[in-house]
Copies of this chain bind each other. A is one copy, B any other.
Amino acid sequence: MRISHLFTKTSKSAPADEVAKNAQLLIRAGFVYKEMAGAYAYLPLGIRVIEKIKHIVREEMNAIDSNELIMTSLQRREIWEKTGRWNDDVVDVWFKTRLKDDTEVGLGWSHEEPIVEMLKQYVHSYKDLPISLYQFQTKMRNELRAKSGIMRGREFIMKDMYSFHTSADDLEAYYNRTIEAYKRVYDRLGIGADTYVTFASGGAFTKFSHEFQTICDAGEDVIYLHRGKNIAVNEEVIDDAVRELGISRDELEQVKTAEVGNIFNFGSQKAEEMGLDFVDADDSAHPVFMGSYGIGVTRVMGVIAEKLSDDKGLVWPEAIAPANVYLVSIGKDDAIGHADELYDELQAKGIEVLYDDRDVRPGEKFSDSELIGIPHRVTVSDRLIAENQYEYTERVSGETILLTREQLLAKLS
């Protein structure tokens, strides 16, 4: 894409009321636009990042035999009353509104209840199980304060998955398979090395649930980490964890983190509350076992923006960058013609290029390339063309080297 065709412009400042670094950078670089606190539009650069994150998550969920669907935002009161979660004192993030006939409806902040209700229509026998379903859906949560940019929004995109099983063992096996799938997601997103499966408080059914916590100075959480044993626990369960996992408190390092996923074993609790039963081979009826697994897509984008950025701007991992290469032309006709040609050639090879074809100072192009955070920058100038060379700069390290055309193409392929 040519930057001259991009309607957004970079800016030196973010809205005065925006305190979160992730949103400040994303707004300044033209990835998002703030509609109101906790609600952001995703502009052409931003939607590319979202689609790449979704693509990775989708592949990994499909690989564990989950099927994609999409539920509704509008929620019926009577479904949520079955579990007591319609009550604003129990769930304090509901947005509620009314149909024309004055029926009160909610806007979905999660989808356990409606998916259980729906499955009552499709699940009857043990032969109908297991089932795993996921969606990318825009959740609405009426947060009291929304000051963390896209890390905690009133409106945000979430991948939520729900699995249904005939037994606690089958659920646990799938739960563990999902942990491995989530690890692959974070590896592919470029944050696998310091993202930890973290023991968190469970529910009526299990002692622990699990969060995925990534090290992040701006994170809202703190975890206790045993690097040697690769064990992480959150504060709520530290006493239980010390007792049960054979670790001592003194060995634990306190680290600031941001949550990038969570998974929860509901056991048969939801099915019991809502009446989702199956008939087993021996004709006996039992409640279905259920797990729930979430990754906030826009939240993860915000965490990565926050965690990997530096004082010059955003630093996107290769797999989710809005483009692979930031192409800069410096000079007049020769450099422009040459850059045009390289742009076409790279795009034809499937390498996505953000081509800074604007008639502005080189310094402005360089600082924008750093703010936007594309992994590789290639500069074409009149002087370098004469020497059959290109200037190549790696965003993450800032290192600049000169390469021949052949070396450049090898590096970018």
Contacts and interface: CB of A to CB of B under 8 A. Distances in A.
A143 B103 CA distance: 13
Interface of A: 5-9, 33, 35-36, 39-44, 46-47, 50, 65, 67-76, 95-97, 99-100, 105, 107, 114, 118-119, 121-123, 128, 131, 133, 138, 140, 142-144, 154-155
A7 B133 contact: yes
A50 B68 CA distance: 12
Given A47-B68, A47-B70, A74-B36, A7 B131 contact: yes
A119 B75 CA distance: 33
B95 A70 contact: no
A138 B41 contact: no
What are the 6 closest A-B residue pairs judged by CB atoms, nearest first?
A35-B72, A39-B72, A39-B74, A44-B67, A97-B97, A7-B131
Contacts of A100: 142-144
Nearest to A7: B131
A154 B133 CA distance: 24
10 contacts: A7-B119, A7-B122, A7-B133, A35-B72, A36-B72, A39-B72, A39-B73, A42-B70, A50-B70, A96-B97
A5 B66 CA distance: 10
Contacts of A41: 69-72, 114, 118
B76 A36 contact: yes
A138 B73 CA distance: 9
Nearest to A92: B100
A171 B299 CA distance: 38
A343 to B, nearest CB: 16
B40 A69 contact: no
A131 to B, nearest CB: 5
A35 B155 contact: no
A72 B40 contact: yes
Nearest to A44: B67
A43 B72 contact: no
Given A9-B122, A138-B138, A43 B69 contact: yes
